[in-house]
Amino acid sequence: MKHFGTGLLLCLQFFSAWPIKRELALTKKDITAMYMLMPLLSLLTGAVTIGFFMLNNSWLAFSPLLTAIILVIIMIVVTGGIHTDGFIDTSDAFFSYRDKEKRLAILEDPRVGAFGVLAVVGLLLLKTGFLYEALLREVQLAYFVAIPLLARVAMLLYFLTMKSAKTTGLAAYFKERVQARGVIVACIAYSLLIVGYALYCGEWPLLVLYGMMLLSLLYYRHWSNKNFAGMTGDLLGAFYEGMELVLWGTLLLFI
Q: Give the tens place of pLDDT for each residue, 163-212.
A: 998 888 888 899 899 999 999 999 999 999 999 999 999 889 999 999 99
Q: Give the tens place of pLDDT for each residue, 31-76.
A: 999 999 999 998 888 888 888 988 988 888 899 999 999 999 999 9
Q: Give the tens place of pLDDT for each residue, 182-194.
A: 999 999 999 999 9
Q: What's the rounded mean pLDDT across residues 79-104? A: 88
Confidence of residue 4 (pLDDT cuts 50, 70, 90): confident
| Residue 69 to residue 132: CA distance in whole angstroms | 8
The more confident residue out of 24 and 163 is: 163
CB-CB contact of 160 with 184 (8 Å): yes
Q: pTM for the full model?
A: 0.93
The more confident residue out of 151 and 11 is: 151
Domain ranges of the chain: 39-253
Q: Give the tens place of pLDDT for each residue, 102-120.
A: 888 888 877 888 889 999 9
**What's residue 239's pLDDT?**
96
| CA distances for 198 relative to 67, 243, 254, angstroms | 27, 19, 14
Highest mean pLDDT among 18-32, 39-53, 134-148, 209-223: 209-223
Q: What's the rounded mean pLDDT across residues 16-24? A: 78
Tell me the DSSP string of the chain: -HHHHHHHHHHHHHHSS----S-----HHHHHHHHHHGGGHHHHHHHHHHHHHHHIIIII---HHHHHHHHHHHHHHHTTTHHHHHHHHHHHHHTTT--HHHHHHHHH--S--HHHHHHHHHHHHHHHHHHHHHHHTT--TTHHHHHHHHHHHHHHHHHHHS-BS-SSSHHHHHHHH--HHHHHHHHHHHHHHHHHHHHHHT-HHHHHHHHHHHHHHHHHHHHHHHHHSSB-HHHHHHHHHHHHHHHHHHHHH--
What integer best gives the mean pLDDT of the chain? 90
**What's residue 1's pLDDT?**
67
**What's residue 210's pLDDT?**
96
| Residue 213 to residue 230: CA distance in whole angstroms | 19
Confidence of residue 147 (pLDDT cuts 50, 70, 90): very high
